[in-house]
Amino acid sequence: MSSPIPSSKPGQSAHLSNGGVDFLLEVIDGAPVIRYWAASFKGELSQNLFDRSIANSDFDEITSPGIMREHSRGHLGYPTIKGHRAGLDWSTKFSVKEFKSDKNSFQIQLEDSDAKLTLDISATLDQFGVLKVSQELTNLGDTYFLDELNYWMPLSDCATQSLDFVGRWSNERNPQRRDIAIGRYVRDSHEGRPGHNYTIGMIALEKETNFASGQSWALSLAWSGDSQYCIEKNYEGSASISAGEVLLPGEVILATGESYRAPDLYALYSNSGLDGLASNMHKHLRARSLHPKSARPMTLNLWEAIYFDHNEEKLKKIVDAAAESGFERVVLDDGWFGSRRSDLSGLGDWQVSKEVWPSGLGSIANYIRDKGMEFGLWFEGEMVNPDSELYRAHPDWILKVNNRIGPTWRHQLVLNLDNQDAYNYVLDSVDKILSQYQITYIKWDHNRVLVDAGSNNRAAVRKQTQGLYRLFAELKKRHKSLEIESCASGGARIDLGIIDLVDRFWTSDNNDALERARIQRWSAQFIPPELLGTHIGADPGHQTGRSLSFSFRALTALFG
């Protein structure tokens, strides 16, 4: 038995067309339904593309659950929203209340008057074929507990495989490609940061797709906290791709009139292979007003040259060699502050160490600048050693649950940026150093995962992430020329959420050029290479022990 899909309400449809991509959305029985997302087409899209049959054991009429994927509309897969009011209003049935669209954008307001919720969805398709989507949920009733709010996009029947990335410290961005099977395939992150195993985005593609040809679809979430990517295929063979923030229990509790703004979503399509997909994203990011416009300075980071062995005379000799070699920036890494002679102590004490820098950093900073180079400095402001003056004075400033102290990682605990006193201490300490030494570049590290990440005993990964965004924004407001490098034990915080607040990502702690060729290539699937930092590694490599020619190491470094 065959049945046509119900028709949409006149005027309530959006046909976005830009950058070689078309996106068609229609309102069907009150539900917004994505009918097409792929290469631009001419003429009318045939209704036959969406016809389906009704089996003997099936709903009596064709259902169109749309982007909300609600059980109330007959959807049997994973829903877009999960939440409740003390067990009530757990099932929603949103309908379109307002609908506006033009050639390149749409704005929809959905409402469920029974559940007393509204959802505002807006999207813009730019000249590079990149669709940017936002969602904001507002509670109009009593206290509402939000568990999940995800984005879902339908996939073409041509998308038969998925591609994502896995890894660990010093070995990020290993591609894994697999067939899309019936069921739900999930890649999620629960580290309180993206992590070395983070995929940056989820890609669906044709079996024949390679770098130069074939279709591919991708989602990437603009978020630096916990996240989830998913591809789901139902028993009929229909597949969808999803992304969303992972919310811990109680992280989003909405009082009457309060709203939750989900992280923005980037949705990409290309019929020119994986390189075409990457090119579209790179063009989108390069078109931002805040994207670096000048050539990226050739940077010398001193970490592998000296580690914690800070000696001014030794450093001056390295600086001399750097100047002669054409370097444009020198970054002093870990070890310049407090009792930080190793990673066992001093983290959080952001005062220049009188032991190793008795006259302060002014001398070496001026020496570097007199050579015509910028002076940069390392911070890890979100962390603290238990063996530090800061922790001894303020043990209550860490993320924790009750009085339970979680396990250390690299001998560190995590400062609670939701605690205003802790936030102010970090902001003011960094601001003071930047002002005192006229520093225009910082490398900001993040060397551990978040566990038991509680603030006032409530889950706080979301607030911690928002606190970091607020901190970076304020530092850049106070220091107009400041550039920030995002590092997290290498490439554990590379994402499209923090990208508008930083100017460079440290791609990996692995400087082995052979390993870096892979790590950089797949990081560049979403991030332009000018934002991916890499250095000429030592010989032999400190991470692999492998010896490689200087020319190979230097040429590899030029790609970052």
- Shared domain for 526 and 405, answered yes or no, is no
What confidence tens digit (pLDDT) does each residue in 188-208 have?
999 999 999 999 999 999 999
What integer pLDDT is reported at residue 373 of this predicted model? 98
Among 506, 530, 548, where does a domain finish?
506
The neighbouring-strand residues paired with 189 are 227
What confidence tens digit (pLDDT) does each residue in 378-396 have?
999 999 999 999 999 999 9
Among 222, 252, 286, where does a domain finish?
286
What integer pLDDT is reported at residue 54 of this predicted model? 78
The neighbouring-strand residues paired with 27 are 32
CA distance 279 to 285: 10
CA distance 347 to 343: 8
pLDDT band for 51, please (50, 70, 90 cuts).
Answer: low
Whether 292 is covered by a domain: the verdict is no
Which of 29, 112, 164, 509 is catalytic? The answer is 509
- Shared domain for 554 and 451, answered yes or no, is no
Nearest one of 198, 60, 275 to 490, comparing CA atoms: 198
% of the chain surpassing 70 pLDDT: 97
- Shared domain for 498 and 557, answered yes or no, is no
Nearest one of 364, 340, 376, 379 to 488, comparing CA atoms: 379
Which of 445, 495, 503, 512 is catalytic? The answer is 445
What integer pLDDT is reported at residue 2 of this predicted model? 37
CA distance 152 to 538: 45
Whether 144 is covered by a domain: the verdict is yes
Helix (H) or strand (E) holding 475: helix 461-478
- Shared domain for 83 and 204, answered yes or no, is yes
Token duo for residue 458: 């409530």
Q: In the block, which residue shows the tokens 């309102």?
A: 27
What integer pLDDT is reported at residue 103 of this predicted model? 94
- Shared domain for 428 and 555, answered yes or no, is no
What integer pLDDT is reported at residue 356 of this predicted model? 96
Q: Quote the radius of gyration of the chain (alpha carbons, Å).
A: 25
Positive/negative CA dihedral, 172, 176, 180, 184: negative
Residue 557 has pLDDT above 50, yes or no: yes
Q: Are 414 and 468 in contact (CB under 8 A)?
A: no
Q: Are 313 and 359 in contact (CB under 8 A)?
A: no
pLDDT band for 171, please (50, 70, 90 cuts).
Answer: very high
What integer pLDDT is reported at residue 45 of this predicted model? 66
Across 305-444, the runs of DSSP E, i.e. the strands, are 329-332, 374-379, 383-384, 413-414, 441-444
- Shared domain for 355 and 477, answered yes or no, is yes
The pairing of strands 299-301 and 504-506 is: unpaired
CA distance 37 to 333: 46
What integer pLDDT is reported at residue 4 of this predicted model? 42
Phi, psi of 510 (to 5 degrees): -85, 110
pLDDT band for 6, please (50, 70, 90 cuts).
Answer: very low
Examine the residue annotation and report whether 445 is marked as an active-site residue of this protein: yes
Whether 431 is covered by a domain: the verdict is yes
- Shared domain for 269 and 304, answered yes or no, is no
Catalogue the long-range contacts made by 25-28 (C-beta closer than 8 Å, 24 or more residues apart): 25/101, 25/106, 27/96, 27/99, 28/64, 28/66
Among 462, 489, 506, where does a domain finish?
506
What confidence tens digit (pLDDT) does each residue in 448-472 have?
999 999 999 999 999 999 999 999 9
Higher pLDDT, 51 or 426: 426
Residue 5 has pLDDT above 60, yes or no: no
- Shared domain for 209 and 320, answered yes or no, is no
What integer pLDDT is reported at residue 57 of this predicted model? 85
Helix (DSSP H) and strand (DSSP E) numbers for the chain: 9, 32
Whether 293 is covered by a domain: the verdict is no
Whether 294 is covered by a domain: the verdict is no
Number of structural domains (the chain) is 3
pLDDT band for 52, please (50, 70, 90 cuts).
Answer: low
Residue 161 has pLDDT above 60, yes or no: yes
pLDDT band for 484, please (50, 70, 90 cuts).
Answer: very high
In the chain, % helix, strand, coil (3-state, to 5) comes to 20, 35, 45
pLDDT band for 1, please (50, 70, 90 cuts).
Answer: very low
What integer pLDDT is reported at residue 60 of this predicted model? 76
What confidence tens digit (pLDDT) does each residue in 332-360 have?
999 999 999 999 999 999 999 999 999 99
What integer pLDDT is reported at residue 184 of this predicted model? 98
Q: Is 463 helix (H, G, I), strand (E, B) or coil?
A: helix
CATH of the domain at 276: 2.70.98.60
Q: Is 253 helix (H, G, I), strand (E, B) or coil?
A: strand
- Shared domain for 127 and 217, answered yes or no, is yes
pLDDT band for 13, please (50, 70, 90 cuts).
Answer: very high
Token duo for residue 508: 């990996």
Whether 531 is covered by a domain: the verdict is yes
What integer pLDDT is reported at residue 56 of this predicted model? 78
What confidence tens digit (pLDDT) does each residue in 495-546 have?
999 999 999 999 999 999 999 999 999 999 999 999 999 999 999 999 999 9
- Shared domain for 275 and 128, answered yes or no, is yes
pLDDT band for 48, please (50, 70, 90 cuts).
Answer: very low
How high is the mean pLDDT of the chain?
95
Cβ count within 10 A of residue 71: 14
What confidence tens digit (pLDDT) does each residue in 291-344 have?
998 999 999 999 999 999 999 999 999 999 999 999 999 999 999 999 999 999
Our CA angle for 530, 230, 113, nearest 5°, is: 110
pLDDT band for 491, please (50, 70, 90 cuts).
Answer: very high
Whether 291 is covered by a domain: the verdict is no
- Shared domain for 558 and 415, answered yes or no, is no
- Shared domain for 113 and 190, answered yes or no, is yes
284-304 burial by CB neighbour count: b if 16+ within 10 A, else e?
A: bbeeeeeeeeeebbbbbbbbe
Q: Are 271 and 215 in contact (CB under 8 A)?
A: yes
Predicted model pTM: 0.96
Structural domain span for residue 161:
2-286
Cβ count within 10 A of residue 116: 16
What confidence tens digit (pLDDT) does each residue in 247-269 have?
999 999 999 999 999 999 999 99
Token duo for residue 421: 């006193």
DSSP per residue, 260-293: EEPPPEEEEEESBHHHHHHHHHHHHHHTSTTS--
Q: Is 70 helix (H, G, I), strand (E, B) or coil?
A: coil
What integer pLDDT is reported at residue 559 of this predicted model? 83
Whether 352 is covered by a domain: the verdict is yes
CA distance 283 to 18: 14
What integer pLDDT is reported at residue 50 of this predicted model? 55
Side chain identity at residue 361, one-letter code: L
CA distance 397 to 51: 58
Any idea which of 35-44, 418-427, 475-484 has the lowest mean pLDDT?
35-44
Packing angle of the helix pair 513-523, 550-557 (nearest 10 deg): 20
